[in-house]
Structure 1
Amino acid sequence: MKKYSHYLFPAPAMLIAAISLFFHYTPAIRDAVSQLPAQGFDLRISWWRVLFEPLVGPLIFLLRSTKPISLYGALFIWLLVLALAGGWKKHASVIVNLKRWLRSWPLYFGCAVALFLIAVFAPLPGETIVNQRPEVILVNLHSHSHYSHDGIISPKGQLAWHRRQGFDAFFLTEHNHFTKTLEIVEQQRSGRLPEHPQIMAGMEYSGSNHILLLGLHRVFNAKDYPDKAAIDSAHSQGGAAIVAHWFTPARNTRPLSFYADAGADGFEIVNKSEGAFHPGSKAQPVIDFCRRQGLIMTADCDYHGYGNVCQSWTGLTLPGWRTLNAEQRQRAILDILRKRQQDKITVLALNDRPTGLFPVWLRPMQFFFHYAATLNLIQITSWFFWMALAAGLVRFSRGRLLEGLGLLSAALMIGNGFYMVFMGLPLRGFNELYLEIGPYFIGLGLCVLASSVKYCKKN
């Protein structure tokens, strides 16, 4: 590798520069209903991201991908193949080469898991929406804390994340309960939590589909409720009901008309957890139906704490928002939703790549091409700087770079595993995810640690 490092490391930066020059694609905030650029909204890229672009940018772009887990797995396999090819010695036998590769692949695996943990848990600096329309507020109707069975972020963490992403208000919608949410709302109303952005109580009810029941203030048990009864319960409290991610194949078991007849006020047409931007082929039937029936359309994050990216916002036209108190603000939001005033709603989504997916084994190449096409001159310069630094590290590391990365990866996995166990103990009864996954990361970390130590001794 040393022999070719002069050419190997500048190559990605040069290829990225060429792709960006000839096939540039500018990320933009679009109106998900019209598919046109949304007027009055822009993106601001963090300087921290620009500075560390090769380390941060691909992870952020990965998190915004459709089906990021399968894409990451395909990327890892391709990198293993490239590592095998790059470390192949001409004058050694096939058996010797394979043995060398088998000794090192646990370290590559450890690095891949560590990168995954960084992508999921670290507050990576990315893009932030810039709202240039003072009469419009940005709201998220769909989020989960670790009081949901699949959430990995605290309510305070949700508050901080929504503030970073430019939201003025959000609904905390745990799965099938909202007792804890009412406590969080009360803490904010009493001044024990920052007042911005405003937290409001909701619930994601699991019926024939998932339905967001918004603006709740009286506890009720929706277990075994039919959809109409759950929606009626929300309406009786002055709340609203939005059908979540109907466009996912596993969810659209009932026709759209079923939910309209049950009293739903509208549908999500963009959901962050389901992909970066839904093309018309998925969302268009919902859009057409909502237009015919006079139902509203929203773009929601469905944020569970996995990764620090945001690509969907619901804009509400509410002049004088800052002059209202907390109760008046919630009522103003719910009035727009309940009265189904789509003319006061802007459905916003970040579009950062062309739609359409390659087969899974070819998606890493598609991912690299789309990522490179979005970069500007300063980001490309950052790539050249870090590639030059990487070439120098490899030249002077004397073969210890992989061992060091393996040890760091092991420490990160073990530390994260103990953190998850520690966090999971007080959440029993709400969330078992921490206690289920934490020990696995501890075990993986110990295995990678042992492999790193063994690799160091043999090299």
Structure 2
Amino acid sequence: MKQRWALPHLAVPITLTVLVLGAQLASAPALSDPVAGVAPPSLRLAVPWLYLALAPLFTLWDGVSMLSMSRLHGFLLGLAVLYSAWRVARFISLRHAPTRPAAHRFAVLREVGTLVLALLLLAAFLVAGALWHRPMLSLAGVDPQDIVADFHSHTNLSHDIRDTWMRNFDAEASRRWHSRAGFDAVFITDHNISSRESRVAIRQSGTASTVLCPGIEMSLWRAHIVLLGDTGPVERQRYRSLDGLLRLLATSDSAYRALSVASLPEYRRYQWHRLDQLAAVGLDGFELVNASPKANELTRAETDTVIGIARTHNRFVVGVSDSHGWGATSMVWNLVRSPGGPPADLCGAVLGQLRTGFSAVRIIERHRLRPDDWWPMWLTPIGVVWETWRALGWALTAGWLIWIWAWALLRRRPRSS
């Protein structure tokens, strides 16, 4: 008696292998610059050993984490459509097979069990991806004269963190998160809070690998404005109208020694028609990339519009994590030039460079499935896998192929000839 592979069992791993390798023929750069187009050639993503060992799981966590909100809705819709199509196709393939009456009852129970198992696996994937501060890809190969910065992040002092499962995500936790992603400096910009606790944490982290810098995110009239710098208390009621908003943008530097940044998604939703006016009156910069799903909706055409306005008025553009502690995926970094190497006052050096305007920052973002990519919303699950494969690189491609064939071996069914 001998064992042999059944051809149907080889079809899936062979197909997946062809697709993964085919994606490398249509590969996309893992990193890019939304302004210049091409990232510096020295930059790369450093891959932790556990990330590489569990490549399919970790890369898909990243791919889903970088989806916009509209794409996340498409992801769930697409999973429902694809699951239904799979079960209907299976039913059609088996309907002519001879069955006993008891088998029909068993088939119904099996379908219910399969659905419950699928929902549990999906829930486990999403919850684990959101809660586990797992090993993450970090930016490497940075020029020693560049400071890697994040200009918008939150801690548990913000109202939308303190009562969630991320309630323990304090300033030190944010520092660790950003350190693992390769940041040199991160601005802590809690909602409407410029607190003594934040400044204490910032001072204590002064000698750490990632420096915490002061800031605040202000909720104003149909806009969220990030103020970068140690503002002290800000009287928000003075700026709760259009005139108040314009007054803050005009005086933020003199009144609070802070630079103002228009935050996503609010300026896209409510201020799109007056971006020129905001920049002309004194807004210092725009968020061009924001990793929060609800703020990650800018199309390529809209991105080019913001870049054009920023260039015309000599305003800087930045990419931000808008981190609230969930997950472990860094989607974007900023390179701020610091001739002569890292200065003693990292935060001050970054702010000083931002004052030079449009050329102050170079944004580096990861390849991902975007809201305006050609994939239909209901095919988002396939689209996110394909775009993930295109940017893998050969080490992570090998990780995928090993798991594909390991899975095939586990499903091997011996047959006697």
Contact 2:63–2:385 under 8 Å retained in 1? no
Partner of 2:135: 125
| Deviations, residues 403-424 of structure 1 (Å, cap 9, x unaligned) | xxxxxxxxxxxxxxxxxxxxxx
| Deviations, residues 26-62 of structure 1 (Å, cap 9, x unaligned) | 312x222122333543322333222111222222122
Contact 2:144–2:341 under 8 Å retained in 1? no
Question: 1:37/1:97 Cα in 2 relative to 1: closer, same or farther (>3 Å)?
Answer: same
Partner of 2:307: 287
- Alignment pair present for 1:169 and 2:185: yes
- Alignment pair present for 1:368 and 2:385: yes
After TM superposition, the structure 1 = structure 2 runs for residues 82-97 of structure 1, keeping only pairs within 5 Å, are 84-85=87-88, 88=91, 89-90=94-95, 91=97, 92=99, 97=107
- Measured in 2, the distance between the counterparts of 1:308 and 1:196 equals 18
CA deviation after TM superposition for structure 1 residue 285, in Å:
1.3
After TM superposition, the structure 1 = structure 2 runs for residues 217-256 of structure 1, keeping only pairs within 5 Å, are 217-223=231-237, 225=239, 226-231=244-249, 232-233=251-252, 235-245=254-264, 249-256=268-275
Aligned residues: 387
CA deviation after TM superposition for structure 1 residue 131, in Å:
3.9
- Alignment pair present for 1:16 and 2:19: yes
Q: Secondary structure at the match of 1:174?
A: coil
- Measured in 2, the distance between the counterparts of 1:224 and 1:160 equals 36
Contact 1:176–1:223 under 8 Å retained in 2? no
Contact 1:276–1:350 under 8 Å retained in 2? no
After TM superposition, the structure 1 = structure 2 runs for residues 345-356 of structure 1, keeping only pairs within 5 Å, are 345-352=361-368, 356=373
Question: 1:260/1:373 Cα in 2 relative to 1: closer, same or farther (>3 Å)?
Answer: closer
Q: Which moved more, 1:363-372 or 1:385-394?
A: 385-394
Match 2:278 to one of 259, 274, 297: 259
Partner of 2:332: 312
CA deviation after TM superposition for structure 1 residue 254, in Å:
4.7
CA deviation after TM superposition for structure 1 residue 313, in Å:
1.8
Question: 1:54/1:280 Cα in 2 relative to 1: closer, same or farther (>3 Å)?
Answer: closer
- Measured in 1, the distance between the counterparts of 2:366 and 2:225 equals 24
CA deviation after TM superposition for structure 1 residue 148, in Å:
1.7
Partner of 1:73: 76
Contact 2:225–2:261 under 8 Å retained in 1? yes
Q: Secondary structure at the match of 2:226?
A: strand
| Identity, % of aligned positions | 20
Higher relative contact order (CA 8 A, sep 6+): 2
Code of the residue aligned with 1:184 in structure 2: it is: S
Give the CA RMSD over aligned residues. Answer: 3.1
Partner of 2:227: 213
The normalised TM-score by structure 2 is: 0.81
The normalised TM-score by structure 1 is: 0.74
Q: Secondary structure at the match of 2:199?
A: helix
Q: Which runs of 5+ in 2 are unaligned?
A: none
CA deviation after TM superposition for structure 1 residue 309, in Å:
1.2
Match 2:111 to one of 88, 101, 107: 101
Q: Secondary structure at the match of 2:155?
A: coil
Question: 1:44/1:259 Cα in 2 relative to 1: closer, same or farther (>3 Å)?
Answer: same
Contact 1:177–1:221 under 8 Å retained in 2? no
Code of the residue aligned with 1:23 in structure 2: it is: A
Q: Which runs of 5+ in 1 are unaligned?
A: 397-459
Code of the residue aligned with 1:197 in structure 2: it is: T
Code of the residue aligned with 1:241 in structure 2: it is: S
Partner of 2:63: 61
After TM superposition, the structure 1 = structure 2 runs for residues 26-41 of structure 1, keeping only pairs within 5 Å, are 26-28=29-31, 30-41=32-43
Question: 1:174/1:101 Cα in 2 relative to 1: closer, same or farther (>3 Å)?
Answer: same
Contact 1:142–1:173 under 8 Å retained in 2? yes
Question: 1:278/1:129 Cα in 2 relative to 1: closer, same or farther (>3 Å)?
Answer: farther
CA deviation after TM superposition for structure 1 residue 143, in Å:
0.7
